[in-house]
């Protein structure tokens, strides 16, 4: 599909989803940039609902880099166990906290290059944090929902690599909409375009979707 057709498709999709969702926000609950960073690390292969359940209790006990550095790794593992892959996530949270204290006086760096050097932080996590905290859009957050919908709709052509998907989406989504675009696709993925049982007949963007319009 030509770039101009995909650009028009994005424009129409955003019109419909903005009508539906208004101004969507991040579904993760947080009160500080560090809490958001930890929450996004925990969200890998886990639902935001589950992460919010875990962090609601965990952040009452520990919610700073110093707190995690001083907490035994086994205790961190127990606090986050239900999010899955808890050993690796606990290791990353503890190491990330150490890096923040040693390099940035416990503060979250704004720069993409600095963020992705932190343990457990890739482009997706960095894009979420930069977009939510500072409104900076140097890229598009590509989670499992954005990846799935972008392929089904036909915005990308059978791509699996999130970095390649992000690069293709950045060519057709206006930069001013990068943050909003991710939020909209994530919400639509949870509401209508559910992985195992997509509700194509009920979907508000069905006519713009290659998969949905061909069903």
Query: Alpha carbon of 153 to those of 6, 69, 109, 145, 211: distances in Å?
Result: 10, 44, 35, 12, 6
Structure tokens at 173: 């989504």
Per the CB < 8 A criterion, the answer to whether 108 and 64 are in contact is no
Tokens 């457990």 belong to: 120
For residue 85, give the DSSP letter. S
Question: Is 124 in the active site?
Answer: yes
pTM: 0.84
Q: Which one is catalytic: 143, 157, 161, 164?
A: 143
Question: Is 161 in the active site?
Answer: no
pLDDT of residue 1: 67
pLDDT of residue 18: 95
- Report how far residue 35's alpha carbon sits from residue 48's, in angstroms, rounded to the nearest whole number: 14
pLDDT of residue 177: 95
pLDDT of residue 208: 96
Per the CB < 8 A criterion, the answer to whether 55 and 79 are in contact is no
Structure tokens at 162: 């999130």
Q: Which regions in the chain score pLDDT beneath 70?
A: 1-3
Q: How many C-beta neighbours within 10 Å does residue 7 have?
A: 14
Per the CB < 8 A criterion, the answer to whether 120 and 93 are in contact is yes
pLDDT of residue 212: 87
Helix 144-153 and helix 162-172: axis angle, to 10°? 60
Q: Taking Cα atoms as reference points, which of 105, 78, 83, 92 lies closest to residue 37?
A: 92
Burial class of residue 9 (count of CB atoms within 10 Å of its CB; 0-12, 13-18, 19+): buried
Structure tokens at 115: 């963020």
Domains along the chain? 3-25+139-213 (1.10.1670.10), 33-134 (1.10.340.30)
Residue 158, by phi and psi: left (phi above 0), alpha (psi -120 to 50) or beta? left
Q: Which one is catalytic: 124, 164, 171, 215?
A: 124
Query: Alpha carbon of 119 to those of 93, 96, 126: distances in Å?
Result: 7, 5, 11
Structure tokens at 95: 């190491």
pLDDT of residue 2: 66
Altogether, the residues listed in the chain come to a count of: 215
């Amino acid at each position: 599909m030509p770039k101009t057709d995909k650009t028009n498709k994005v424009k129409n999709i955003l019109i419909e989803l903005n009508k539906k969702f208004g101004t969507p926000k991040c579904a993760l609950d947080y009160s500080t940039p560090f809490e958001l960073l930890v929450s996004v690390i925990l969200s890998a292969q886990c639902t935001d609902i589950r992460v919010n359940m875990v962090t609601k209790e965990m952040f009452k006990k520990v919610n700073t880099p110093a707190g995690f550095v001083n907490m035994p790794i086994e205790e961190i593992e127990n606090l986050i166990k239900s999010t899955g892959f808890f050993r690796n996530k606990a290791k990353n949270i503890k190491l990330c906290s150490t890096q923040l204290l040693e390099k940035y006086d416990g503060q979250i760096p704004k720069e993409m290059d600095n963020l992705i050097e932190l343990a457990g932080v890739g482009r997706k996590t960095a894009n979420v944090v930069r977009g939510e905290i500072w409104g900076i859009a140097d890229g598009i957050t590509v989670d499992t929902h954005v990846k799935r919908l972008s392929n089904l709709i036909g915005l990308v052509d059978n791509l699996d690599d999130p970095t390649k998907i992000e690069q293709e989406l950045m060519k057709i989504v206006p930069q001013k909409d990068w943050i909003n675009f991710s939020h909209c696709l994530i919400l639509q993925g949870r509401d209508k375009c559910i992985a195992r049982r997509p509700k194509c007949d009920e979907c508000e963007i069905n006519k713009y979707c290659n998969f949905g319009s061909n069903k």
